[in-house]
Every structure is written in structure tokens, then in C-alpha cells.
Structure 1
């Protein structure tokens, strides 16, 4: 068979499509073809088909396709071996969700049938299996003879280049939700509310000037110089605090000497600083005298210290408790003068876990 006309047409097809863009490259495919001859003396025929083509861009493709749709001539059941060759251009429409429709147009010839060159047009669907493989299903009309055919092919891309596949994804360097290529303010602080151009919205205020914008600030009235967390609330440090009090008394007396007012003032300052604290003042005696008298004396000593704390240093009475323990809990030897002096006492011990606000 002479292919000079086909070769010339192929050259013209390639030459008319010089521009290359996305998805250009060679394609190789194989599949099944079914031919329906309009001549009633010829049996319909099936064949394996093979094609080789070049995709210029997403729209245009050219290919040469071959098959051997051997048939029989009736009457007589005469076998006819055929070689079918077609040169075609493919025009692809807009890609759908699952497939791309396309049109084909070109020329074909079947040598044993002496059909000569005839126009062939068709309509098909193409789908991507993955980035390397595709499928095609099409129907064709062979104009001069009135024959029709259907083709089903599986193909592979050979060295396809795709600008879309290799393009660098746009960045958003300051993470403000506006891509760098349209961001007029590319260095906005983290958490800023921005407009469509990537610039801070003017209403984006920090009223208490703690470094957290009002729309993110859960504590919008933080005092100046407060150390804040990401919510704009002042940080607090949890710690244990404590203070001790010890006052000694003269024998059989329940009067707080002025020498001990400084210690009571320190206790009052502690309780003022840590407003959630309460104090229990415990009174004690030595072993001199009767036990009942000593119990009453120890209670009066505790009450005397509590009275100074409340009246002199203005601690709320609801935060102060006075208790007497008599002579039952000595801390020294009651057989000595020094020991008995130590035992004539009131003591207090406050331990508290507190949250202390943090400052810059």
C-alpha cells in the first residue's frame, strides 16, 4: 500500500500545531476494534488496534492508528486479509469530573478492500486511570463507504510534561490566609485580622496594649506591664507561702506586751497580701496552777492576741480564731524557770497555696 498521502497529512497535522503547553508528549495505546461494513457481502470484523500519537496540549492530539480487521466475502466464504491505517487529529473538549469528550477527524484506508483514502470522523470519551495511563472509547464513521467502527483502547503517556503538575504551590508566608502573590502586606503579625489584600484591618486594636489583639483577647482590661498568655490573660505562678507567730506571756497573765506588736503586724501584712488566708491562734500555759484555771488562761491569751490583730491591724474577725489548750502541750521542761517561760505562749502557723500574678 502507498502511504505517501498519509505521511504528508501527518506532517501537515504536526506542522499546524507548533505551540506546546500543559500535558504535551507522546502516547502509545492498544485495544480492540469492531468494524461494521456497509457492504452486505462483507462480514463484520474484529481486530486488535494499536496507535501512536503526540499530544500537543490539553486540546489537540494527532495519531496514526493501525489494525487488521480481517473479513469474509460472501457468497463463498472467501477470507480477506486486510490492513487498516488511519491518520487522525483529536480535539478534546472541557474535561469533566470523570472523563473528557473528544472529536476525531482524518483519513483512513483499507488496502485489501481497495477502498482508497476516505474521510473518517468520530466521537469519543477519554478518562485518566492515573497520571501515566488512560482509557478511550469511541465510535467512527468512514464516510466514503458508509462503514462504522467502535474502538476501545488503553494507553500510556510517554515522557509527558505538565506545567500544572510541576508548578510550585502558592505560599502564604505570614499565614494570614492571603497568598503571597496577592498579599500587599506580606509580614503581618501572627493572629492579625486582615483584609483581602493581606493588610491589617484598622479595627484590629489592642486596647490594653498587652500584645494580644482585642478580637483574640479574653482578658481585655489587663493592667499595664502584666505578663500575659496567648489569650491576653495575666499569667499566675502557683506557690506555697507560710508565716509563724510566737508570743510569750508573764506568769498568770494574758496581756500582749507591746514588744510583740511587730510580729502581729507582720502576720497582719501577710493576711492582707493573701486575702484568702485564715489564722488559728493557739494559747498555752505552763503547769503552774490548776488545770481548769490554765485552760481558761490559755484561751484568754489567744483571745488577747486575736484582739490586737483585729482592732490594731484591722484584720476581719471572721478570719481569726482563738483556741486555748491549757498546760497539755508543753514545748519545754516545766521543772525549770526558763522552760515554764517558754511554755507560756500563743502560736500561729499559716500555710497557704496561692496564685501569684506575674509581671514584666
Structure 2
């Protein structure tokens, strides 16, 4: 694939991403980037001077911190060390395809996120004085830092060490890049409140007064670990009780409300509360069979604490998802 075609695909992806309702960073997010790197070659390659690698890549976040990325780049400005014929120094062409996993430090969101990476690469490069192409397999390690100017736009700087397994040689690169992050987190669902139909009047028998309807209610309070949106195993029985009640009274519906403590930014806590509410909703719908149109979810971030956020005990109480269902029975 030619470099201009590769960059065209990435640029098209960047434009498309900006036109979407881009979601937050985190698990499930996709990053696309364009980069330029300075290539410091091993002396045994008969290269007169180091060159540049220009390319693009795409990464998928397996968790909030771990991503798996594929990149492609083409070399420029590489020339042979010795003159080749009357034409002078030979221009050397080549490409590098890499697959790397990266671990990011810090919290997703606006600001600085250092990272370390490791992976493998395949290099196809012209040979200076022998003709043909040299194809080599590399083991990569690297480190760098990304700065997120917004939730979706970032710049990065990196240093990569490259070990040529076939030739037993070491090389390295240093570079910069820019990119977009989109697609992570859970989209907030707008709660829809359906009007409760008025109960039909019961016929009067023998002039005896009709018993007053009794209001019954089931409440749900699910706690979460710090900075997590995974439902704990011990909470499933409480969620099942709510699902059983809704199955018993099919006219009911509910809104699942997510909350966080005050640690972190308002933006990050808002998205975390939405993910927690969505996680409980998915258990109700997908595992216990409540119809999806009867369960909405909404996140309130850190705006509705029920305990003191200045203590660990209070913050644990505030990391919660709440829901309630009411029904009238006679």
C-alpha cells in the first residue's frame, strides 16, 4: 500500500470520527493517528545516513488502560553509504508494519497519559549494494507520552527500541504524532416515563366497600469498586429480586440511576456513572429477561451524594446504582 493511500484512509477516518457523536475514552475506544519518526539504522545496513518513517496506525482499547495497535509506515531519505555506479548514492525504499500492545498510566480524560509498549514488526527494505530486498522480523519495546487536549484529540511523542531477530542487530526510532480517540464508554440513555393508566373502577357488590389498593415497592442499591463499572457477584441476587418483581407486575417500568464519589473530574465521573447504570440495566435485560423498553438508565455523576465524600466509608456508599419499582395490588 502506498503511503499516500494509507494516510488518505486515516485522514478519512479522522474526518468521519469528528462527524460522529464521539463518546469518551476508555474500554472499547478506537484511536487513529498519523506519525513521523526518525530512524536510526544499524551500521551493517550500508546506509549513508538515517532516514524518516512516515505512516499511520489504528488502536483498540481492550480495557481503560490496555490497547492493541496496528501501524504501517514507509521510509524516506535513506541513501546507500557507498556510491552505486555513476548515479551516485542510491535511494533506499522500504516499509515497516508493526503490531504493538500498550499500557497507559493515569486516568482516561483530558491531560497527560504516559505509556509503555511491546510488540513485533515486519520490515521490507531495499539493499544498498546487493539489489533485491531485505525482509526482517523485529521485536519492539517502547515508551512515550500522550497529551489529550480534549476528550478526543491528542498529540504524542515516543521512543522505540527495535531488535532485528534475523540479523541480531539493534536499532531505534524517535517520533511524534497526532490522532483522535473515539468510541469508548456507554452512551447515556434518556429516561422515558410512561404514564400509569388509571385503574378501572371495580363493581360494587352488596354495597360492601372496595378494599383500598396497597402500594408495594422494591428498591435496588448496587455498590461498585473504585473506578469500576463491573457488577459485583454479590449484587446479582438483589438485581434478580427486582427482575422477579417486574415479571410479576408486567405493567411496571424503572429507571436505573448511576452515581459516583467525588474522586476525578466531573466529565469522567459523569461517564463512569452512565457506564455503571448501563451495566445494571444489561443484567436486568440480558440475564434476567426484563423487556428492554421497560428499563431505562441515566447517570448523575458525583452530583447526588448520600454520604460524606471526605471519608473512604462515605465514598464507598456513594459509588452506587439505584432503582425502584412500585405497583398497586389489592
* Structure with greater strand share of residues: 2
Which entry has the higher C-alpha Rg, 1 or 2? 1
TM-score scaled by length of structure 1: 0.39
Q: Which has the higher contact order (CA 8 A, sep 6+)?
A: 2
